Amino acid sequence: MEIDKRKSDHVWRFYFVLVALLFVKTYLVYRFEFSLTMRGAGEEFLLLINSIGAISLLLGIGLFKKYSKPGLMLAVYFLLSVILYANVLYYRFYIDFITVPVLFQFGNVGGLSQSTVELINWYDPLLVLDSLVLFWLIRRWNLKSVSLASKLKKKTALFATGMFLVTAALAFILHPLLFEKSYDRELFVKSLGAYTYHVYDVAFQSITSLNSLFADDTDISEIQKFVDKNSVDESPYFGVAEDKNLIIISLESTQAFMMDEKVEGKEVMPFLNNLKDESFYFPNFYHQTAQGKTSDAEFMIDNSLYPLAGGSVFVRKPENKFLSLPLALKGEGYLTTSFHGNDRQFWNREEMYETLGYDRYFSKKDFDVTDDNSINYGLKDIPFFEQSIPYLKELKEPYSAKFLTLTNHFPYLLEEEDTLISLPDTSKGVVNRYFATVRYEDESIKKFFEDLKAEGLYEDSIFVLYGDHYGLSETYNEAIGEYLGKEIGPVEHVQLQKVPLLIHVPGEEGKVFNTVGGQIDLKPTILELLGVNEQKSLNFGRSLLAPDRKNLVILRDGSFVTEEYVYTKNTCYNKETAEKTKRNKCARHFDHVQDELDYSDRVIYGDLLRFMK
């Protein structure tokens, strides 16, 4: 009996050691790895306690059985530590938390690479390798399955459940609309904790995956009314590029602030700076991507729907029905193509492009890719454009051709012979190298335009050049601030989400459009310039050229920007002064923003476009 009691005591100590260690690790990660915006003592207290209940219950899987299982407790502890560390790595670049779809799309986005290595710190092993010490402790104490006092187990279970319920109650008191903002993962994590968030995410993804089974045509009619209510008038630019070939260039990881920058007196983007003077230029154009990054940008531009808050539509919903830009152009006799110097399966493009109606996809197998002309994720931009010219010459006109650049990709690697500008001297090498790869990208586009003109492919084309997503995440705000000579606060960070947009129509005079818009607006803008009226349409975007469009851009996390205000991290700011302002200045947009994101999600999750008549 004495031996059983001693073993029982060791098991209880082991359980509480696991709970204490994981609680401390989790809180330290909250404080030092996640940039959580805290407002008041209530949120601070909630952040401190929100993991205790979930950790106690999850580790209790090995405790509350008839016979305790220390090995199972340690296995759960190790799994939770791995999940915590995976979130740390993901957050360091994306400033976001992992979702179930991200795990399933891992193989589609390249897996482990130099990008991942760049994010690892020397102390990272401490987050997971303590499990080895704990395994030694199991051996040292000779911990095995043992029957524990049921009374003490019940008290422990009641404590864990009580802590979880107290946390939930406090979370709902502080944030009554918590579950109505399921896309706000930061709010969820700082309210209910990282582990509860992941359990909720699994349940949410399971439920939404079934939505299409129960959808019918009444769902799409409600959404169509919402879209029609927010439609805009036709602009004077309708048809100015009618029957022209369409060339779209996706500028990988390119942020708009680079357009105006110089290093030692030399412009970072000299060609695009000259081109914008001869183009329709949109200085207030924002990326709206989420976890799908480049594929999200493609999805928005092709469909005028918002990306999903978690994962990529390209990976999650390639079997859906869409009313895409390529399909609209094919209805007008266009041949639709896409060019990319990487594998066909990257971001599941091969399958998704077929769904979207692309006639031809030129991928890595269509190019001569060698060690000399490739770096990082694939073929460098200059040889990519050079090798694309012969294919363009063979295309039947009119055609659309989308080009996805690649060299300006995190962690921004480039050989010395391709470095065309001096590097700034900030505290982060990634930020310094970013200037070099952006400069190289600009040079590649300059050479591409020169080749197009030499081959007679320039005059009868319209060119759309857009940044696909940010290149430098919030992780690098301090180093960006060093270079810009100012602190990067919430408003400045949102403003850094601007990406370049130039629409170049040879023969048309350049003009600056100060309208506030985003990638979701590009499809209707392009179709308007080409003079195309879709037979069927459901576009959440509005033409950037429309004189009566609302100056509002909605970001995927629920933040939004108007002419005067920026709403981000649940706070309203004056855009010009970057100071907090009264919440009611932004409040009139809340319902519209929520409805627009929710309706777009319903279209995708329910595959509702199949019901369009």
Residue range 174-191: average pLDDT? Answer: 79
Least confident of 43-47, 62-66, 95-99, 181-185: 181-185
pLDDT digits (tens, 9 = 90+) for 278-310: 999 999 999 999 999 999 999 999 999 999 998
Active site residue 294: yes
pLDDT digits (tens, 9 = 90+) for 554-567: 999 999 999 999 99
At 406, is the pLDDT very low, low, confident or very high (cuts 50, 70, 90)? very high
Q: How far apart are CA 416 and CA 439, in angstroms?
A: 13
Q: Residue 329 corresponds to which tokens in the numbers above?
A: 């152009």
User: Quick one: CA torsion of 333, 334, 336, 339, rounded to 10 degrees?
Assistant: 160
pLDDT at residue 416 is higher than 90 = yes
pLDDT digits (tens, 9 = 90+) for 428-458: 999 999 999 999 999 999 999 999 999 999 9
Residue range 83-94: average pLDDT? Answer: 87
Q: How far apart are CA 256 and CA 355, in angstroms?
A: 31
Residues whose CB falls within 8 Å of the CB of residue 183, separated by 6 or more in sequence, listed in order: 309, 556, 557, 558, 597
pLDDT digits (tens, 9 = 90+) for 252-272: 999 999 998 999 999 999 999
Which residues lie across from 561 on neighbouring strands?
553, 566
- From the candidates 167, 294, 337, 426, give the one annotated as an active-site residue: 294
Q: How far apart are CA 528 and CA 131, in angstroms?
A: 60
In the chain, the percentage of residues whose pLDDT exceeds 70 is 96
Which has the higher per-residue pLDDT, 215 or 486? Answer: 486
pLDDT digits (tens, 9 = 90+) for 111-127: 445 566 777 888 888 88
The neighbour count for residue 180, using CB atoms within 10 Å, is 11
Which residues lie across from 423 on neighbouring strands?
none
Domain ranges for the chain: 2-208, 232-546
Q: How far apart are CA 401 and CA 444, in angstroms?
A: 17
Quote the DSSP letter at residue 523: H
Q: How far apart are CA 476 and CA 324, in angstroms?
A: 35
pLDDT at position 40, please? Answer: 84
First-to-last C-alpha distance (Å) of the chain: 76
Which has the higher per-residue pLDDT, 185 or 338? Answer: 338
Residue range 464-479: average pLDDT? Answer: 95
Least confident of 60-64, 393-397, 434-438, 532-536: 60-64
pLDDT at residue 6 is higher than 80 = no
Q: How far apart are CA 475 and CA 95, in angstroms?
A: 7
**DSSP 3-state assignment of 566?**
strand
Nearest-CA neighbor of 362 among 435, 290, 378, 373?
Answer: 378
Residues 468, 294 contacting (CB under 8 angstroms):
yes
User: Positive or negative CA dihedral for 386, 391, 397, 402?
Assistant: negative
- DSSP string for residues in 333-386: T-EEEEEESS-TTGGGHHHHHHHHT-SEEE-GGGS---SSSEETTEE-HHHHHH
pLDDT at position 14, please? Answer: 87
Q: How far apart are CA 147 and CA 80, in angstroms?
A: 25
At 110, is the pLDDT very low, low, confident or very high (cuts 50, 70, 90)? very low
Q: CA dist 214 to 207, 382, 597, 602, Å?
A: 11, 49, 20, 12
At 601, is the pLDDT very low, low, confident or very high (cuts 50, 70, 90)? very high
Q: How far apart are CA 486 and CA 264, in angstroms?
A: 19
Superfamily of domain 232-546: Alkaline Phosphatase, subunit A (3.40.720.10)
Residues 23, 49 contacting (CB under 8 angstroms):
no
- DSSP string for residues in 267-279: ESSHHHHHHHTTS
The neighbour count for residue 368, using CB atoms within 10 Å, is 8
pLDDT at position 137, please? Answer: 83
Quote the DSSP letter at residue 513: -
- Pairing of the two strands 67-68 and 266-267: unpaired
Supply the mean pLDDT for the chain.
Answer: 91
Residues 374, 413 contacting (CB under 8 angstroms):
no
pLDDT at residue 108 is higher than 60 = no
**DSSP 3-state assignment of 569?**
coil
pLDDT at position 175, please? Answer: 85
pLDDT at position 17, please? Answer: 92
